[in-house]
Amino acid sequence: MSDGPVTLGAVAGLLAELEGEYAASRPTSEALHKRATGPLPGGNSRSQLHFDPFPFYVDSAEGPWLYDVDGHTYLDLVNNYTSLVHGHPTPQVRERLKAQLDKGTAFGTPTEAEVLLAEELVSRVVSIEQVRFTNSGTEACLYAIRAARVFTGRHDLIKAEGGYNGGLESAQVSVKHIGAGSTESVVEPGVHPAIAEHTHIFPFNDTDAAVAVVEEFGPQSAAIIVEPMQGSAGAVRAEPGFLEAIREAATRTGCLLIFDEVMTMRLGYGGLQGELGVTPDLTALGKIIGGGSPVGAFGGRADVMAVTDPRRPDGLMHAGTFNANPLTMAAGLLTLEMLTPEAVADINKRGNDLRDWINTTCTARGLPLVATGYGNLVQLHCSTTPPRSYRESSLLPKEPLKLLFFVLLENGVFAAPARLLMTLTTPMGDEELDKIKAALDSGFDALQQAGYRAT
């Protein structure tokens, strides 16, 4: 948590001015947004894409750059919310996709591309002995949980407070809406209240309390699902010893441990689990393994994955018209082939350097801002100390981050709205990092001029 309260000064007034300037310079995006709100509730099909006064519309992209319909160019630090690790399609990637496109886009049979991508994942993710593909990270988490239920014969689920593990009902508990206590199960809107009785919550980074929850509910639970770094909760890293303790408690109580690495696979050659040295029983994947195409995958121990074997009459039914779509498999394989250990190390170093620069700069300026994350994922918070959980990060002010967002945009840098999540990609070099720092410096100037400070 922050060491003390902050004063927002004139942040709200300056933010309103910046929003007005933003809108005035993007008339085509504004017109498209107004048109979109007719057939689309809120104007789009992804909740997190909206920000006031309206989101800008992209015309094209290549490498680390976005080009919007009003002629603005941005260095893209959103990268489709971390799903692009090499930026937008380059001629090399487009050529690979075109080669598959010429062969066909969907068949009612397996393809060699599926085998090749599966072999690649098995070779680099230590927990995955076998894998199956889905169309999204949500489906990956859903089927990992269902596989655990079939394997264990149990039905309950244990998850971390503030953890986003997809849109499935059993995981839509204590994500954005949390209770008075950190172990209280609160269902999200649209979820049947009875789900809360069978989904048990533990506080992230509170080892003793988390282990106590697992000891109590583990014997009746099929699985524990947890991100090794919580993404939508604020890029909050698991503290040393926390995941190890969860791993041990899962083993003692006979429930399976699932790592949701949909976002964090990009943080290591074999995912974040490979960097941290903690091995789950099952892993859910998505985002980068599709190379910019819709994708998900779940995999793990061969004895657990055997429950999905279609040769078994009592196996788990796992179907999907576009599972292992050949275009996705081709793009995903190329992405992973390009994501060598050296490439991961390089973007992680750049991310670590940027995070250190932000924290050093904000300390020197007396600005109550702190950067969290791991490797190539960097997120800002309105605090002087890093939040340890979603319960902490959710209480921090958001207006200064909104102001920073608009200052960054006007300096040609696109970070995640409100969250200020920044995603580095392999095409970014020293020139791009200098551009990010210069844009952030402009934002820090604006915050200081507005009177944002610790009190």
Q: Helices (DSSP H) in 262-389: which residue ranges?
A: 271-276, 302-305, 326-338, 341-365
CA 27 to the chain's CA centroid: 31
The whole-angstrom separation of Cα 381 and Cα 224 is 28
The domains of the chain are located at: 6-85+342-454, 91-338
pLDDT range class, residue 3, cuts 50, 70, 90 = low
Q: Which of 22, 164, 390, 452 is flagged as catalytic?
A: 164
Copy the structure tokens of residue 443. Answer: 């934002």
Give the pLDDT confidence of 326-375 residue by residue, as tens digits. 999 999 999 999 999 999 999 999 999 999 999 999 999 999 999 999 99
List C-alpha distances in Å: 379 to 13, 78, 415: 24, 11, 9
8 A C-beta contact, residue 418 and residue 52: no
Copy the structure tokens of residue 69. Answer: 């319909």
Task: Please state the pTM of the whole predicted model.
Answer: 0.96
353: Cβ contacts below 8 Å, ≥ 6 apart: 433
Q: Which of 260, 281, 402, 452 is flagged as catalytic?
A: 260
Give helix 341-365 / helix 430-450 axis angle, nearest 10°.
20
Q: What is the mean pLDDT of residues 166-186?
A: 95
pLDDT range class, residue 257, cuts 50, 70, 90 = very high
Give the pLDDT confidence of 260-290 residue by residue, as tens digits. 999 999 999 999 999 999 999 999 999 999 9
Superfamily of chain region 6-85+342-454: Aspartate Aminotransferase, domain 1 (3.90.1150.10)
pLDDT of 1 above 60: no
Q: What pLDDT is attached to residue 57?
A: 98
Per the DSSP assignment, residues forming a β-bridge with 370 are: 381
pLDDT of 4 above 80: no
194 CB-side CA count, 13 A: 0
The whole-angstrom separation of Cα 121 and Cα 130 is 9
166: Cβ contacts below 8 Å, ≥ 6 apart: 136, 137, 138, 139, 140, 141, 142, 260, 262, 284
What would be the CATH architecture of the domain defined by 91-338?
Answer: 3-Layer(aba) Sandwich (3.40)
Q: What pLDDT is attached to residue 443?
A: 98
Active site residue 164: yes
Copy the structure tokens of residue 192. Answer: 């049947």
Establish whether the linkage from the previous residue to 53 is cis, with ω within 30° of 0.
yes
The whole-angstrom separation of Cα 405 and Cα 401 is 6
Q: 2 or 106, which is more confident?
A: 106
Active site residue 98: no
Active site residue 287: yes
Q: What pLDDT is attached to residue 177?
A: 95
pLDDT of 2 above 60: no
Is it true that 6-85+342-454 and 91-338 share their CATH fold? no
360: Cβ contacts below 8 Å, ≥ 6 apart: none
pLDDT of 79 above 90: yes
Q: What is the mean pLDDT of residues 185-190?
A: 96
Q: What percentage of the chain carries pLDDT values higher than 90?
A: 96
Q: Which of 76, 159, 287, 452 is flagged as catalytic?
A: 287
Q: What pLDDT is attached to residue 180?
A: 94
Give the pLDDT confidence of 290-333 residue by residue, as tens digits. 999 999 999 999 999 999 999 999 999 999 999 999 999 999 99
